[in-house]
Amino acid sequence: MTESTSSIWKTASARWKELARVAAVVAAIAFSIFIPPPAYMGDAGEGTLVPFARYAVGVVAALIGVAMVRWRRKKYLRYWLVSAIIAFALVTITYFTYNEKRDRFTAIAADGSRVVIGTEYTPAAASYVRAQPSASAEQLLGDSPCSSGKAECSARLVWTEESIERNKRLLGLLFIAGAVLVDVALLSAVQSTLI
């Protein structure tokens, strides 16, 4: 291979790596594996937490993009590999934790919508549960119709507002953490292959 061919090859390879880094950042912002929690659904049915998650992922992707350009030498490979492995482990833990909490802290209402429930009963619901100890969360929602007909309103008749809000916050934090960790794992893995 001649020196000019070698130089062209190195330039093309460097540009390809830069293009791959940019593509990885864009892909990390665009995709998410987590289902948004129902607690943050607007009245029209759109997820209000998803735009914030994309913003958080975008900020993290920009910061990692800067790091990818700055620390792209072979001496940094082990740091990128460790970052990818740790982030992947944390994504896995967060994913399963989120799904377990989502199943435990939500119930399917009579209209088929998923609603966040609490962990502490209101006084009226506590006495009902003592009389009906085998009642499921779905049955409690169905047996407590709200005058507005909305499942969230029915949930507030059964569980305390504080416990519902606590569960909403936890689901929201796990959702955001998962989305950001997916971003970190993906970009760290991409950087590891490009070094």
Sequential pLDDT tens for the chain (195 residues)? 566 666 666 676 677 777 777 777 677 666 655 566 776 654 444 567 878 888 888 899 889 989 988 998 999 999 999 999 999 999 999 999 999 999 999 999 888 888 999 999 999 999 999 999 999 999 998 888 776 667 888 899 999 999 999 999 999 899 899 989 988 998 899 898 888
Give which of 43, 49, 33, 46 is closest to 172, Cα–Cα.
Answer: 49
Q: What is the pTM of this model?
A: 0.78
Q: List alpha helices for 71-120, DSSP H.
A: 77-105
Say how many residues make up the chain: 195
User: Given this model, what pLDDT does residue 58 score?
Assistant: 85
Say how many C-beta atoms besides its own lie within 10 A of residue 176's C-beta. Answer: 18
Distance of CA 121 to the CA centre of its chain: 28
Q: Who contacts 114 (Cβ-Cβ below 8 Å, separation ≥6)? A: 38, 106, 107, 108
Scanning the structure block, which residue is given the tokens 């390879």?
13
Residue type, 114: R
Number of domains making up the chain: 1
- CB-CB contact of 126 with 133 (8 Å): no
Rg (CA), the chain: 23
Instruction: Report the C-alpha gap between 154 and 149 in whole angstroms.
Output: 8
Domain interval for residue 157:
3-194
User: Given this model, what pLDDT does residue 43 score?
Assistant: 43
Give which of 171, 161, 51 is closest to 152, Cα–Cα.
Answer: 161
- CB-CB contact of 195 with 20 (8 Å): no
